[in-house]
Amino acid sequence: MKRNTWQREAVRTALGSNEGFVSAQSLHSTLRDTGSPIGLATVYRALADLAVEGEADSLQSLEGESLYRACTPGQHHHHLICRNCGLTVEIEADAVELWAQSVASEHGFTQPNHVVDVFGLCAECTAQVRPGR
Amino acid sequence: MKRNTWQREAVRTALGSNEGFVSAQSLHSTLRDTGSPIGLATVYRALADLAVEGEADSLQSLEGESLYRACTPGQHHHHLICRNCGLTVEIEADAVELWAQSVASEHGFTQPNHVVDVFGLCAECTAQVRPGR
DNA sequence: ACAGTAATGAGATTCGTTATCAATAATACA
DNA sequence: TGTATTATTGATAACGAATCTCATTACTGT
């Protein structure tokens, strides 16, 4: 049976108080910095669990590490992510869902999944990068 | 200056004679199996180069490793990938391009990139998985 | 042919993640 | 409330993908 531990709750909270996607490693050091003696393996396990339960989204960063972010559970959505500061906006895209479905069945594919994420520079980071040039 | 070596050519050829996405590791062992004494590091370097030059597409597998595939250079496209056998179909999606653009600018994001891939079971694998059930 | 130097490759190294396993602590039940 | 059960934890080892090192090799222009 599943048990409630302060460790899981700590991970859930830390994840929730974050604007964008975070790696397990950085979440772990954040927790350690706030005095929590939580172990690294536990953070990995908690994040994997949250992702399975639908309380967190995960994606692969371009460097190959897994990033996590709290999300509103239950509803399918995609992300608009600032590649500079990590700020993330959840976006819905019914049109894209339908497109994925139809493209798959057009080619005889079944059980379609899809990975749809948009990366860019958020307004703030855009302003910082080119202040007056 | 850039030089032509049989190693680069071997990687290009091996990649081209493959239906779907392959990892650097498996491409390396394939080459080794055919008698080529090419080194692993070289395969990694050649694949990275091909990806930069636009002769290969790359994506992150769900397990976090980078997969590569030969592609028609120059044109932007996405992929429909069989998650069982790796068969890949290149798909164009102007509608999705435009959607990504507009969604980004709606939220003040600039320089939008996007990751759009559809995974599924190809017709053949669908038939194999559930033969008559 | 030859010099200059990009490319190679075996092995060491880095880094993210998972497995191990004894110790701990959350839950069910008497 | 006390106790037995067993899921969970965490320090560390192990693993695997990818990169780096650096001496050696071999393209290329002259």
DSSP-derived secondary structure for chain A: -----HHHHHHHHHHHT-SB-EEHHHHHHHHHHTT----HHHHHHHHHHHHHHTSEEEEE-TTS-EEEEE--TTS--EEEEETTT-BEEEE--HHHHHHHHHHHHHTT-EEEEEEEEEEEE-HHHHHHHSS--
Q: Do B115 and A117 touch (CB under 8 A)?
A: yes
* Confidence band for B132, pLDDT divided at 50, 70 and 90: low
Chain segment A20-32, per-residue pLDDT in tens: 899 999 999 999 9
Chosen from A103, A117, A129, A130 to mutate, greatest number of chain B CBs within 10 A: A103
Q: Tell me the pLDDT band of B51, cut-offs 50, 70 and 90.
A: very high
A with B: how many residue pairs have Cβ under 8 Å apart? 114
Q: Which residues of A53-92 are buried (b: 16+ CB within 10 A; e: fewer)?
A: eebbbbbbeeeeebbbbbbeeeeeebbbbbbbebbbbebe
Reported pTM? 0.88
